[in-house]
Amino acid sequence: MDLLNTIGGGVAQAQVRLDKREQGVILRVVLPSASPDTFHVALHNQRLTVYGAYRHQPDDELSAPLFMRVLDLPANLDVARIDAVQHGAELHVRIPYKNTNDEPRELDIRHEE
C-alpha cells in the first residue's frame, strides 16, 4: 500500500458497488492494495458506514484513513439481519429486505357512539 500517498492527502480509491437481488441488496467494496483487515462496518439506526483505516501495527492507536462511504438505508431493508462477509479482497455487506406484505387490504371501520 502507498501509505505516503494517503498521508499526503490522497485517499485510496475504493470501488463500491450496490447489487440488488431478489432477497435484498449486497454492497460490494474492494480496496486495491489494502489488507482486508483494514475494513470496518458500522451501523447506527438506518445509516451504514463502511470505512478503511490503516494502522502500522495492529495495536497502534493512530490510524490513517483510507476511504469512507456513508449510506442512508431505506426503510424496506432489514437492518436487524445485516451481515458482512470477507471474500478474498472483497467485502460483502448483505442486507435483506424486510418481509412485508405490500398487498393492499381493506380496513374495517369501527363506529363509536
Give the CATH number of the domain where residue 57 resides.
2.60.40.790
Q: Is residue 38 part of a domain?
A: yes
Give the pLDDT of the chain (113 residues) as one tens digit per residue. Answer: 444 444 455 555 788 999 999 999 999 999 877 777 888 999 999 999 998 887 777 777 787 788 889 999 999 999 999 999 998 888 999 999 987 666 777 888 787 87
Residues 109 and 31: their CA atoms lie apart, in Å, by: 56
Q: Is residue 112 part of a domain?
A: no
Number of independent structural domains in the chain = 1
Q: Is residue 83 part of a domain?
A: yes
φ/ψ of residue 25, rounded to 5: -120, 155
Q: Is residue 105 part of a domain?
A: no
Q: Is residue 36 part of a domain?
A: yes
Q: Which domain holds residue 74?
A: 15-96
